[in-house]
C-alpha cells in the first residue's frame, strides 16, 4: 500500500510523521472520510469544501489547492488499485516546537490513505441496530464547534466506549440542552407519519455529506424533510429511525435505550432511501 505524504507516495511502512507534529501532540488538525464506489469518488467536491471550511475555522493553511488535492486523492486510488473503498484524508498542523501555539509549525502535513472499509456487520442492515443514549455530550459551538471535522474526537470516542459497555455499536449524543445532536460517527434521522426529521446542525450535528444526500433524495421522492430540535421522546415514538455516514451509508435503528422503535424492523422509507442512495453513489462525484 502506498500512502500520499506531503507530496510523495511512500510505502505504508515508511509513511511516518514527526513526534513533534501538532496533530499528534494536540490533536491540531482536520480530516475527511470519503468513499469510492465503482471508480467514482462520491461527492468529492462536497468533502473538499467541508475540509476547506474546517481549515478556515482553525486558521490552518492547506498547502495545496482543492484541484491538487482532488488529483492527489484520485492518484492515491489509482496507485493502490482501489476502485471501491475508503479514503482517509488528514491535514495536520505539521511539525513544530512543544507548546500549543501553531506559530512554530511552518507547514501543514497532508496525508492520504486509500484503503478498504469495514461497514457495520451486514446482518445489522437487515435486522437494524439497537443503540443507546450515553452520558458524554456533543461539544457545543461555544466550546469546540462540532462543524469542524477536527482530529479531536475524544468525546465521541468516550461515547463509543460507553455504547460498547451497554453492548451497543452506536450511541446517541445529546447536546448541552439535552436535544439529540447525532451519534458518535453518524447523523440520525427519524420518520414520523411520512415525514423525515433530523437534528438541525445548530444542535451539534456535523453537516454530514450522507446527511445532505439523504435530504436531497427525500425531497426528490416528495418526502417532506424538517431539520429541527429532537428529543429522545420523538425517537422513541418514531415510525422509523436510521443513521447516516460515509462508512455506514444508511443503517436502520430498531431500538433506543431498550425501547422498540416502530415495528422493531427496518422500515419501508429507510429501505427506499437506502436504495435511492445506492443508485446515485457511482454516478455522483469525481471519476478516477
Ligand atoms: N457525525 C460525525 C461526528 C462524524 O464524524 C458523520 C457524522 C457522518 O458524516 P458523513 O460526512 O460521513 O456523512 C461523521 C463521519 C473515519 C471516521 O475514521 C469518519 C467519521 C466518523 C468516524 C470515523 O474516517 N465521520
> Domain with 100 in it: what CATH number?
3.30.470.10
Domain region containing 94: 2-115
pLDDT digits (tens, 9 = 90+) for 11-22: 999 999 999 999
pLDDT score, position 117: 85
Burial per residue of 142-179, b for 16 or more beta-carbon CB atoms within 10 angstroms, e otherwise: eeeebbbbbbbeebbebbbebbeeeebbbbbbbbeeeb
- Please tell me whether residues 18 and 135 are part of one structural domain: no
Pairing state between β 2-5 and 29-37: unpaired
Which of 115, 142, 159 is the last residue before a domain boundary?
Answer: 115
pLDDT category at 119 given cuts 50, 70, 90 is: confident
State which ligand 1 atom lies nearest to the alpha carbon of 50: 11
pLDDT category at 210 given cuts 50, 70, 90 is: very high
Average of per-residue pLDDT across 254-281: 97
pLDDT score, position 108: 98
- Please tell me whether residues 28 and 71 are part of one structural domain: yes
Residue with cell 451519534: 183
- Please tell me whether residues 212 and 186 are part of one structural domain: yes
pLDDT at 144 over 90: no
Average of per-residue pLDDT across 26-52: 97
- Please tell me whether residues 143 and 271 are part of one structural domain: yes
pLDDT score, position 143: 86
DSSP letter for each residue of 205-261: ----HHHHHHHHHHHHTT--EEEE---HHHHHT-SEEEEEETTTEEEEEEEETTEEP
The whole-angstrom distance between residue 184's C-alpha and the CA centroid of its chain comes to: 9
- Please tell me whether residues 147 and 275 are part of one structural domain: yes
pLDDT category at 200 given cuts 50, 70, 90 is: very high
In a domain, 80, yes or no: yes
Average of per-residue pLDDT across 142-171: 95
Active site residue 12: no
In a domain, 285, yes or no: no
pLDDT score, position 175: 96
* Mutate-to-test residue for ligand 1 from 144, 173, 185, highest number of ligand atoms within 8 A of CB: 185
Radius of gyration of the chain (CA): 19
In a domain, 48, yes or no: yes
Average of per-residue pLDDT across 235-262: 97
pLDDT category at 82 given cuts 50, 70, 90 is: very high
Which residue lies with its CA nearest to atom 16 of ligand 1?
33
Q: What is the pTM of this model?
A: 0.96
- Please tell me whether residues 51 and 165 are part of one structural domain: no
- Please tell me whether residues 43 and 93 are part of one structural domain: yes
The rounded mean pLDDT for the chain is: 96
Backbone dihedral region of 235: left (phi > 0), alpha (psi from -120 to 50 degrees) or beta? alpha
d(CA 243, CA 7): 35
Active-site hit among 2, 95, 149, 160: 149
Other CB atoms closer than 10 Å to residue 139's CB: what's the count? 21
- Please tell me whether residues 94 and 166 are part of one structural domain: no
Q: How many domains does the chain contain in total?
A: 2
In a domain, 286, yes or no: no
d(CA 156, CA 58): 19
- Please tell me whether residues 249 and 195 are part of one structural domain: yes
- Please tell me whether residues 240 and 177 are part of one structural domain: yes
Cβ-based neighbours of 255, under 8 Å, separated by 6 or more: 128, 129, 130, 131, 261, 264
Which of 94, 115, 136 is the last residue before a domain boundary?
Answer: 115
pLDDT score, position 148: 95
Q: Are the C-beta atoms of residues 137 and 173 closer than 8 Å to each other?
A: yes
- Please tell me whether residues 132 and 108 are part of one structural domain: no
pLDDT score, position 29: 98
Q: Which of 10-24, 118-132, 161-175, 246-260 has the lowest mean pLDDT?
A: 118-132
Average of per-residue pLDDT across 24-38: 97
In a domain, 287, yes or no: no
- Please tell me whether residues 238 and 128 are part of one structural domain: yes
d(CA 64, CA 109): 10
* Mutate-to-test residue for ligand 1 from 186, 201, 212, highest number of ligand atoms within 8 A of CB: 186
Which residue lies with its CA nearest to atom 19 of ligand 1?
33
pLDDT at 118 over 90: no
Amino acid at each position: 500500500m502506498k500512502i500520499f505524504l506531503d507530496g510523495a507516495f511512500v510505502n505504508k511502512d515508511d509513511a511516518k510523521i514527526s513526534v513533534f507534529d501538532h496533530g499528534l501532540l494536540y490533536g491540531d488538525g482536520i480530516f475527511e472520510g470519503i468513499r469510492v464506489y465503482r471508480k467514482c469518488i462520491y461527492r468529492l467536491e462536497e468533502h473538499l469544501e467541508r475540509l476547506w471550511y474546517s481549515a478556515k475555522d482553525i486558521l490552518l493553511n492547506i498547502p495545496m489547492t482543492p484541484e491538487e488535492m482532488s488529483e492527489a486523492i484520485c492518484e492515491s486510488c489509482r496507485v493502490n488499485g482501489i476502485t471501491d473503498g475508503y479514503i482517509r484524508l488528514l491535514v495536520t498542523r505539521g511539525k513544530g516546537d512543544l507548546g500549543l501555539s501553531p506559530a512554530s509549525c511552518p507547514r501543514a502535513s497532508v496525508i492520504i490513505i486509500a484503503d478498504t472499509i469495514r461497514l457495520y456487520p451486514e446482518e445489522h442492515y437487515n435486522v437494524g441496530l439497537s443503540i443507546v443514549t450515553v452520558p458524554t455530550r456533543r461539544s457545543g459551538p461555544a466550546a469546540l464547534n462540532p462543524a469542524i471535522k477536527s482530529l479531536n474526537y475524544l468525546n465521541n470516542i468516550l461515547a463509543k466506549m460507553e455504547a460498547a459497555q451497554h453492548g451497543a455499536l452506536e450511541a446517541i449524543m445529546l447536546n448541552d440542552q439535552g436535544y439529540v445532536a447525532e451519534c458518535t460517527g453518524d447523523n440520525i434521522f427519524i420518520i414520523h407519519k411520512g415525514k423525515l426529521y433530523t437534528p438541525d446542525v445548530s444542535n451539534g450535528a456535523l453537516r454530514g455529506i450522507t446527511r445532505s444526500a439523504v435530504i436531497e433524495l427525500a425531497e426528490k421522492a416528495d418526502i417532506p424533510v424538517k431539520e429541527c430540535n429532537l428529543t429522545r421522546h420523538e425517537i422513541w415514538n418514531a415510525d422509523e429511525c436510521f443513521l447516516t455516514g460515509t462508512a455506514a451509508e444508511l443503517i436502520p435503528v430498531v431500538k433506543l435505550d431498550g425501547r422498540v422503535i416502530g415495528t422493531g424492523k427496518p422500515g419501508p422509507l429507510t429501505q427506499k432511501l437506502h436504495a435511492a442512495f445506492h443508485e446515485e453513489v457511482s454516478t455522483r462525484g469525481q471519476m478516477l
